[in-house]
Structure 1
């Protein structure tokens, strides 16, 4: 088991480094951190392509996987369901990361569970419920230490995907056309610092919602993930789409809109928005020496580079 105090001190020290020095330090770690953002409703009964891939990225059947189900209204029931799935996939060491209140999130037991894990899997539910429990706790800091310093694979489905963003899509209707302030942003876990993740994307018609929040934050990328579909982000290297659907990548960084000139819930004018549709089965590299990089248009290369860029460690 890794020494909790040593890892937490390393995490705090890394957070003080300049960005370029931090990136070099992270590149020298033993494993590369990976994120698996699932759009919800992943197959848990048949081929289980996404969850098999998640187990593989955690290190295979011998991986230590901890399930964080605090976003759910039935955290124990959700944990038992995933425990059975992971056992059927050959994982012998899975356990419940049972956080019931902020006091528990500050406990040495929870921190040690996180720091000893090869994979943390975050269930669906309400992303605000999860953040209310872990924000600025020792568990929150331990999650960053585990990801950035140990290369722990962090996966999340539905609300567990939304919470991976720093600027988290917290709630909001899905208007057919984008409206000013149709959705509300809040602070998430912050593993993805330059993008806002939405889930159940095509199935629930959420393009209008994602465009609405990008009008509010045009400096961000928008990532819409379909059900039974996952976006795998390999820090510093590539993104990969796994499952049955697609990932819609919306780039509003050159956006021109009337956001500042209209009232709340009025229709938005949005000009110069770039949209990329990334189907399952495709990988997009951030390395100029890779064939997939050379075949991508410059705007997509830039967007992928932002997605895989190491975010700040939260200490």
Structure 2
């Protein structure tokens, strides 16, 4: 495999013309994938190749986060090439046998290959391996990281899935608990739960991944409050958020993304436990657009406002596990397709967890700036600016038995 990597690198160094990095604002694009990207998701793969320059585009694959980098790199190269790219592997990965990741990250030939490419792709794995490899011990950029920024600034595309998505913001989840509830209960600690990312998307947007499948919007909230973010972008699996130079976001792929807006939100620090009032949560379906600068939404093609004269849901909406797989998106869809003003979901852990009596109630409410659209043929919803309030509650465990 190492021999193949060397051949691929040699080809990469010879390919393309050298373009100087623009020291000004980025002219490039980001393709931020929420993890679980399938090979048959042509829309996402083709978008990456197109943004990198189209058929024959050189795309650098960085398996830095992977536990098995040689395997992950080859799978990604094969997928990109299937959709028309000429991808090559950048062997900068702490788990890659026979290499010194520190030396590789400052290798001039590797950096030059990336600088000449039309795009770069970070595989999934452990995002701490990416930041730990591409920044020196003193926090400065390695040659490879400088080359990635040069590629991005002059108009190339930076793509990443799962861990490769987490590093897109200036702050990322680093080594948090696997479940969401401990983060809601205990908050986040710098250097443990959160740490510095690479910041390609800018300093004002917090990014997370595997969002709907794992209910991770719940862990984004305390992290955003702790680090001063008012805007969060969470992408679901097999789905991508494409961010252009004008900071326009377009959602493509299998499902959608959540936007969390805390600009008008408040928290009562005199009360015990995490709490939040007057936040806004939006669900962007595939095809929808959102601008990170103006915070303006636009539904995808073929969508019309939801007609509340013909609603499907009239009974009260109450979810007992709002952090479950796709639960929050399902609840929001039912709310906007109802004659109700609010819906409620709760989150709590089992009796064997730490502090099992501590839970949270999430209330979702229509407000004047709420908007909802649907494609009737597919029942695909776009839901913008639903008010969200979170408060801690007591849950009696073990549950009583009916007699």
Partner residue of 1:99 out of 92, 95, 115: 92
* Cα contact 2:188–2:226 (8 A) shared by 1: no
Separation of aligned partners in 1, 2:249 and 2:82? 27
Q: What is the root-mean-square deviation of aligned Cα atoms in Å?
A: 2.9
Greater C-alpha Rg: 2
For residue 187 of structure 1, the aligned residue among 176, 196, 205 is 196
Determine helix, strand or coil for the equivalent of 1:178.
helix
Q: Is the 8 A contact 2:51 2:156 kept in 1?
A: no
8 Å Cα contact 1:178-1:268 kept in structure 2: yes
CA contact (8 A) 2:176 2:194 kept: no
Distance 1:87 1:157 in 2: 17
Q: Give, in angstroms, the shift of residue 223 of structure 1.
A: 1.2
4+ residue runs over 4 A deviation: 1-4, 285-288, 297-300
Structure-2 separation of matches of 1:268 and 1:291: 29
- Structure 1 position 146 matched with structure 2 position 151: yes
Q: Where does 1:9-48 land on structure 2 (aligned, <5 Å)?
A: 14=23, 22-23=24-25, 32-44=27-39, 46-48=40-42
Q: What displacement does 1:235 show?
A: 1.5
Matched, 1:175 2:144: no
Query: Following the alignment from structure 2 to structure 1, what is the Cα–Cα distance between the partners of residues 111 and 168?
Result: 19
Q: Deviations over 1:93-122 (max 9, x none)?
A: 210011141221111011101101101000
SS at match of 1:242: strand
Pick from 9, 27, 46 the counterpart of residue 52 of structure 1: 46
| Alpha-carbon distance between aligned partners in 1 of 2:223 and 2:173, rounded to the nearest angstrom | 8
User: Displacement, 1:2?
Assistant: 4.5
Which position in structure 2 is the counterpart of 1:19? none
Distance 1:3 1:130, change over 3 A: same
Structure 1: distance between partners of 2:111 and 2:118: 14
Larger proportion of helix: 1
5+ long unaligned stretches in structure 2? 1-15, 94-100, 136-140, 305-367, 372-403
Q: Can you list the C-alpha shifts for 1:117-174, whole angstroms capped at 9, x where unaligned?
A: 10100000000011111012111111111101x2110000000000111111223233
Aligned CA distance change for structure 1 residues 83 and 222 (closer, same or farther; 3 Å): same
Q: Is the partner of 1:67 in helix, strand or coil?
A: strand
CA distance in 1, matches of 2:200, 2:297: 27
Counterparts of 2:247 and 2:216 in 1: how far apart (Å)? 28
Alpha-carbon deviation of 1:272? 1.8
Aligned-residue offset at 1:237? 4.9
User: What is the DSSP-based 3-state SS (H/G/I as helix, E as strand, rest coil) of the residue aligned with 2:211?
Assistant: coil
- Aligned equivalents of 1:251, 1:243: Cα separation in 2: 23
CA 1:226–1:286 in structure 2 vs 1: closer, same or farther (change >3 Å)? closer
Q: How does 1:92-171 map to 2 (within 5 A)?
A: 93-100=86-93, 101-135=101-135, 136-148=141-153, 150-171=154-175
Q: What's the offset of the Cα at 1:178?
A: 2.6
Aligned residues between the structures: 272
Q: Give the structure 2 partner of residue 310 of structure 1.
A: none
After superposition, what is the alpha-carbon deviation per residue over 1:18-66, rounded to whole angstroms, capped at 9, x for unaligned?
A: xxxx44xx5xxxxx3100000000121x343211221122122221111
Provide the C-alpha distance between the structure 1 equivalents of 2:297 and 2:147, rounded to a whole number of angstroms.
36
Q: Whose RCO is larger (CA < 8 A, sep 6+)?
A: 1
Paired with 2:292 and 2:127, the residues of 1 have a C-alpha distance of 29
3-state SS of paired residue (1:273): strand
**SS of structure 2 residue aligned to 1:172:** coil
Displacement, 1:84?
Answer: 1.5
User: What is the Cα deviation at residue 222 of structure 1?
Assistant: 1.4
| Mapped partners of 2:74, 2:229: distance in 1 | 40
